[in-house]
Amino acid sequence: MKKKLITKQTKARLSSFIFPILLLLLWQFISSAGYASSAVVPSPHKVLKTFQILLTQQTFFRNITASLERVMIGFLIGSSTGFLFGLLMGLSRTAEKIFAPSFHTVRQVPMIGWIPLIVMWFGMTELPRILIISIAACYPITLNTFAGVRSVPREYLELASVYGFNQLKLIRRVILPAALPSIITGLTLSLGMSWAILMAAEIFIQTQYGIGTQIQMGRQGFNMPLVVTGILTVGLLGFVMTMMIEKVARIVDRGRAIGNET
């Protein structure tokens, strides 16, 4: 059989580049056709140049590490709390009755709305930034863990009771693995929320280092390329982290991943 030069897999991978490239072309077209001033829409070339300069500066990396650290700590605190909370409400109808109404009420408050309160409590320090990210990360994982635990098929629970599993073993061997796809979706959404709120946390609660700080500084100095590179950096980092979660998920959840591929 003749070996194909482009396999189906690489084709699928290549196709995911089509849309970004089109966007890039559109961007180039708008800036070079002069529809907008270069101060408002910097050309891709200019942005790339700014990136190159930033890569030689220590501040840029400090901004990235500061933001990454914030997101990671906030995400870890928020998602682990949310996971346990969702698990508790999923397992116990009593816990659901007690906590769910308050949870759904508090959830309606937009994240930005918390910032003044938390700043007044804790001042313009690192703690409120991380706290805001934690709260944001908490919601999606709570909801998805809860839904995942509740939708474990009754048949699996029956199977576990046939084998005389106790509560702990039931959770560990049946409920958690069955709810895993939901939990992973929750984690991915939580991570997205963390990134989204990171910007607000860094811009509203000013800090020396952070990608949000970079964007804010770009705005104040009317340095559009700096703003755009900041936005792109956040997007790319978020993308890489989501891919990592999905990769880990596929390894952990091989049985179902295989089922979905075929």
Partner 1 sequence: MSVEKGTLEIKNLSKSFIVDNNPLHILNNISIKFPAGAFISIIGGSGCGKTTLLRIMLGLDTDYEGEALMDGERIEGPGSNRGIVFQDHRLLPWLTVGENVAFGLDRLNRKAKKLIVDEHLKLVGLSGFESAYPSQLSGGMAQRVAIARALANKPEILLLDEPLGSLDALTRIHMQKELERLWLLEKITMVMVTHDVDEAIYLSDKVVIMSSRPGVIKKIIDVPSSRPRDRASSEFMQIKAEILKEFHLGTEYPFAYAI
54: its two tokens: 């930033």
Q: Answer whether 32's CB lies under 8 Å from 45's CB.
A: no
106: its two tokens: 């508090």
Distance of alpha carbon 147 from alpha carbon 141, whole angstroms: 10
145-146-148-151 Cα dihedral, nearest 10 degrees: 170
Given the complex with partner 1, which of 97 and 169 has the nearer CB atom? 169
149 binds partner 1 (CB under 8 A): no
Identify the residue among 6, 15, 164, 220 touching partner 1 (CB under 8 A).
164
174 binds partner 1 (CB under 8 A): yes
Q: Answer whether 9's CB lies under 8 Å from 20's CB.
A: no
Quick one: which of 194, 230, 228, 196 has its CA closest to 212? 230
Quick one: which of 90, 110, 207, 233 has its CA closest to 151? 90
259 binds partner 1 (CB under 8 A): yes
Instruction: Supply the minimum distance, in Å, between the C-beta of residue 179 and partner 1.
Output: 11
Distance of alpha carbon 193 from alpha carbon 260, whole angstroms: 27
Residues 6+ apart with CB under 8 A from 156: 174, 178
158 binds partner 1 (CB under 8 A): yes
Instruction: Supply the minimum distance, in Å, between the C-beta of residue 249 and partner 1.
Output: 12
Instruction: Supply the minimum distance, in Å, between the C-beta of residue 259 and partner 1.
Output: 3
Stretch that binds partner 1, among 5-13, 138-146, 211-219, 247-255 (CB under 8 A): 247-255
Given the complex with partner 1, which of 177 and 192 has the nearer CB atom? 177
Instruction: Supply the minimum distance, in Å, between the C-beta of residue 248 and partner 1.
Output: 15
Stretch that binds partner 1, among 91-99, 119-127, 173-181, 185-193 (CB under 8 A): 173-181
Instruction: Supply the minimum distance, in Å, between the C-beta of residue 156 and partner 1.
Output: 7
Instruction: Supply the minimum distance, in Å, between the C-beta of residue 97 and partner 1.
Output: 25
Total residues interacting with partner 1, rule: CB under 8 A: 20
Burial class from Cβ neighbours inside 10 Å (0-12, 13-18, 19+) for residue 254 reads exposed
Given the complex with partner 1, which of 132 and 174 has the nearer CB atom? 174
113 binds partner 1 (CB under 8 A): no
In residues, how long is the chain?
A: 262
161 binds partner 1 (CB under 8 A): yes
248 binds partner 1 (CB under 8 A): no
Instruction: Supply the minimum distance, in Å, between the C-beta of residue 159 and partner 1.
Output: 5
Distance of alpha carbon 142 from alpha carbon 252, whole angstroms: 20
- Local structure of residue 125 (DSSP, 8 states): S
* Site residues for partner 1 per CB under 8 A: 155-156, 158-159, 161-164, 169, 174, 177-178, 180, 253-256, 258-259, 262
